[in-house]
Every structure is written in C-alpha cells, then in structure tokens.
Amino acid sequence: MASEDVKDSPAMVVFDTEAANSLVKELRSTVIAGKTKSYEWRVSQLKSLLKMVEDRDKQICDALFSDLSKPEMEAFIHEIAMIKASCKLALKKLKDWMKPEKVKTTLGTFPSSAEIVPEPLGVILIISAWNYPFLLSVDPVIGAIAAGNAVVLKPSEVAPAMSSLLAKLFGEYLDNSAIKVVEGAVPETSALLEQKWDKIFYTGNGRVGRVIMAAAAKHLTPVVLELGGKSPVLVDSDIDLTVTARRIVSGKWGCNNGQACVAPDYIITTKNYAPVLIDSIKHQLVKFFGEDALNSLDLSRVVNSNHFARLTKLLDDDRVSEKIIHGGQTDINNLKIAPTIVLDAPEDSLIMNEEIFGPLLPIVTVDKIEDGIHFINSRPNPLAAYLFTNKKQLKEEFVSNVSAGGVLINDISLHLMVDTLPFGGVGDSGIGAYHGKFSFDAFSHKKGVLHRSFYGDASARYPPYTPGKLRLLKALLDGSILGIIRALFGWS
C-alpha cells in the first residue's frame, strides 16, 4: 500500500494493553453476573458451535486448504469430524460432568457428608497453533464453555485464513459477551499475556511455552501447555510388516505432512531389520503419493517460507544429506518437500535434536530392540511414544519404562481419538491434559465441600483441654471404636 493510501484509509483499530485490559474486564463482568454458569447457557453455546461446524464445513475446508493445502479428506477426518464428536460428547455428558461427586467422610467429622463440586475457573485465554488451526482452536474452547467459563481465543497468525474465519464465525454463532476472538501476532499476544487470567491454555512449542509460563507466573495463573517433542517409533521384527509400514507412512506424512505434534519424529529398529522396514516404507510412500510426491494432491505443503527454510536447514548438514536414502527433493515455489528418510544421522546433528515438524524421518539403528528403550529414555520426554511388536514382554517393558505424554502400541496417533484417555505431555512435552471429560476438568476448579448439622457437637474438641479429651480425640483420629468407648467412660 502506498503511503498516500495510508493517510486516506480509516484509522486501524489497535489492540494494545489497554484494549486487552478492557476486554478482560468486560468478560469478567459477564462471569460475575453468573451468565456462563448455568447449564442452559453452556448447552446453548455448544449447540451453536456444533451448528457452526455443520453449516460452514466447506468454508472451514477452504480455509485449511488456503493455509496448508490440506486435502479435504484430512481436513474432515482430523479436524471437522473430531470437533463434531467433541461437541456431541460434551452435550451428552454435561449434566453428569456438572454433578457434585459424593465422597466419604471420616469418623472425626461424624455426623457429616462431603462432596466435590466442579465450578468454572472464570476467564480463560486459549492460544492455539497453526498446524491444525481449526481443531486446536475449537477443541479447548469446547472444554472451557462446557465448564462454564468466558473465553478469549487467540488463533495463530501463521494460519491467517483460519484465524479470520474463526473471528467471523464466532461473532456470528456464539455469545460475544462471553466468547471472543482476538486476531494478531506477537504484539496482540503480548498485550493479552499482560492481563490476569484464571487459566491460560497454550498449544505450540517449548520456546513460546516458557514465555507463556513466565507471563502467567506474574499473576499466579495456572497453565495448560500442549507442546511437542521428538516422538519415537520403536519397531520390532516380530510384526506385520505391511500394516506397520502403512501406519507409519500414514501417521507421518498423511497427517499434515509431518506437521503434527504427535507425528513420528524418528524410528528406532535393529540393524538387521532396518533394510526390510525401509523397503516396505518406501513401497508404501510410492503407493500413497506416487513416484513424484512433490506433485501429490494428498500431501499438505509446508506452512510458510520460514518453516521451509528451517526444515531444509536440517538437511544442509553434509553428515545428514549423505545419509538420505529416500526423497530429499524440494520445491520452494510451492513450499513442498518430498517425504524424506535419513538413515543413522549423527546423534549430535540438528535433525536428531530439534523437533522436526515436517516430512523428514530419521531412522536410528540399534543392535538389540531393547537398546531402543534406553535411547528414548536418554532424551527429553516426548508427547507420544509408539511401539510396533507382538511380544507381550516388550509391550510391558515399553509401557513401564518409557515416560511420554501418551503411548500407542501398533499404530500411530489414534490415541487422540479416544475421549476416555487424557491427551497431554509430560516434562518438556507439556503440562496438563484435555480431551473428553479431561477438557471439562482442565477448565474447572474441584471445590471440596463438607456438610455438617448442629447435632453431635462433641465438647471434647473445645477448651478446657483435659487428658480424657485428648484420649478421645486420639481415638477418634485413629478410628478405634474400643479407644473411643474407653475414653468416653474413662476406662484405662
């Protein structure tokens, strides 16, 4: 835009600290008024959200294609269908989730009853990621609404088409006195992070996660950090080779072309089995995406030129490039990188130490399959860890000894679709979890409530204190019926 055009254009609305503060105050007044707390409000917003997805699924697919060249099949299965399922589950289970949970009391509080009451935290900030920009924006919003909170969603500016669409659709379908979208980049996010929130939910990388956590600490704000890491795949020789190769290829390149937090980051297998596994993976790659994968319509592109440069830099190391055994072709004009396999890259190379988040897949070989578990444990905790084997003992050893956000045996990524399992990281891969009821819990405070009547008021708890009262209180705390009787009657 020319400078003279700027002068004639309307003044742009600047979202700064003052605007962020005003926004939070508005939402907090809505919460204080109790509007978001009712079951009826929560249900109405969840129904509106579901209607939004059903009405505008084509626009959602179009935005995903604009941002990532995401195939319609992937857009539907991995984003739209999962959001619809999440909405429907929340609508079906919300009454049960909201019910107080009755719990036992102790003899020392007799007569009494107790319950755990879930209550909304208040005003929530959700900062989402670009790789699944619809799913990762809307899914935590579902949990926050179900729990009765007001919400600000900050979509990723790296997926601008989806960011713009979410701002438009949320404005049309949802209650804007309690649910808002703030678009923008670092300045807008920084302004939001200066505010006092009741919880911050962030999906992204560890570097930004540390910034989020530091900002939250100033206000003692709890956080959920959905990060990532180098998710390993340990492949034994005792497997169905064809099914294993298909599932690895689909989980790596068929999910946003590797741009997924739970995508396989590297494979570990034995030196003896590696050639067989590699041949099968190559075969499936050609079967899925053709001889010229750069022109496949079933592969998403790299999201932008910055990420393209980051990924090609991983291959620039001569020690890595000479280890490429499949792929390696790039198309900077279309931001495409062919599915690439690297065999035994040096352990100190960037590709073996940074989260790849793209279509590159290193394969590490070991002498014994059990050595793979040691290799995984020598590195930071991954978000997901995968094992392909038919051996019961190896499965048990893997589950017992590998610390990861989640573990999946004999497949890739499907654990995300099981709403009875928590999804989240551990250590460097994140803090907290969500999905299904875990989303409701993530945005709720579990308030402990003890009920007592005016009956059964024991004088032993009040001064003046005597040895007899002390014996009675000790017996009560110990739960000793005989001790209580002795104390009451003064027996020794």
Q: What is the DSSP string of 436-450?
A: THHHHHHTEEEEEEE
Q: How far is CA 380 from CA 46, 52, 126, in A?
A: 37, 39, 26
**pLDDT at res. 487:** 59
**pLDDT at res. 317:** 94
Q: What is the DSSP letter of 351?
A: G
Domains of the chain: 12-227+437-445 (3.40.605.10), 232-424 (3.40.309.10)
Q: Which amino acid makes up residue 167?
A: A
Q: Which amino acid makes up residue 395?
A: K
Q: Classify the phi-psi angles of 446: left when phi > 0, otherwise alpha if psi is within -120 to 50, otherwise beta.
A: beta
Half-sphere exposure of 275 (CA within 13 A, CB side): 1
What's the token pair of residue 58? 């084509």
**pLDDT at res. 5:** 36
- What residue ranges of the chain have pLDDT lower than 70? 1-13, 477, 479-492
Catalytic annotation, residues: 226, 261
**pLDDT at res. 455:** 87
Q: How many Cβ atoms from other residues are within 10 Å of residue 74's Cβ?
A: 21
**pLDDT at res. 109:** 83
**pLDDT at res. 470:** 82
Q: Which amino acid makes up residue 423?
A: F
Interval 106-163: pLDDT, tens: 877 888 999 999 999 999 999 999 999 999 999 999 999 999 999 999 999 999 999 9
- Tracing tokens 């299904």 back to the chain, one arrives at 436
pTM of the complete model = 0.93
Backbone angles phi, psi at 20, to 5 degrees: -65, -40
